[in-house]
Structure 1
């Protein structure tokens, strides 16, 4: 008895090559481009920070000089307000104590010089 068999052989010209290499597409910019972008962004940020510091320093100087020039005016306003209050207090004291004999409005109530201001 004879057995007919056929041996499995590669096709003529051989099999197709096995693809074993990774085929990954390039994704995004390279490292040098990213480093350059970050450097430029930080440089711009420091530039703006410097401008902000200059402006803040100028505003602080302006506020200081405004306060220096306003101090005499504010002191004069305070003195006038204090004088008006003392005058008001004098008239109120005169009205309240008008029936008391020997009372002098505006005079200190202390007889001892130790307590005088």
Structure 2
């Protein structure tokens, strides 16, 4: 009986495939990064225009408030005079029979005018 030894084929066996051979899907990551950068830049441009516009609106609002300030101050002064006059008349009406009460005598002795720190409103019956 003759023995036959099994030998490799001429030229050797083919290489064993040990790496995964997946097909590439999509672009390289650097291209995705570039696309994200372009989209970010294109979105910053309208945003900066909006910031400028908002700053201009706030500046305009501040100037409008500064322009209205004398009018509002005059209105507050008129309201203060009206309230003080009404308070004085009410005080005269209440104290007309009191012998020691002096009309329009300052409450404080230094002669300075002081604004009230609060306004007391009474409920009116309609």
Normalized against structure 1, the TM-score is what?
A: 0.73
Q: Say yes or no: does 1:41 pair with 2:33.
A: no
Q: Tell me the equivalent position of 1:71.
A: 69
31, 34, 44: which one aligns with 2:29: 31
Report the alpha carbon displacement of residue 45 of structure 1 after superposing the two structures with TM.
3.1
Count of aligned pairs between the two proteins: 111
What SS does structure 2 have at the residue aligned with 1:101? Answer: coil
Q: Which protein has the larger Cα radius of gyration, Structure 1 or Structure 2?
A: 1
CA contact (8 A) 1:97 1:103 kept: yes
Alpha-carbon distance in structure 2 between the residues aligned to 1:76 and 1:89: 20
Q: Tell me the equivalent position of 1:83.
A: 81
Runs (5+) with no aligned partner, structure 1: none
What SS does structure 1 have at the residue aligned with 2:87? Answer: helix
Report the alpha carbon displacement of residue 48 of structure 1 after superposing the two structures with TM.
2.9
Alpha-carbon distance in structure 1 between the residues aligned to 2:72 and 2:40: 46
4+ runs deviating over 6 angstroms: 13-16
Runs (5+) with no aligned partner, structure 2: 113-126
Which one has the bigger helix percentage? 1
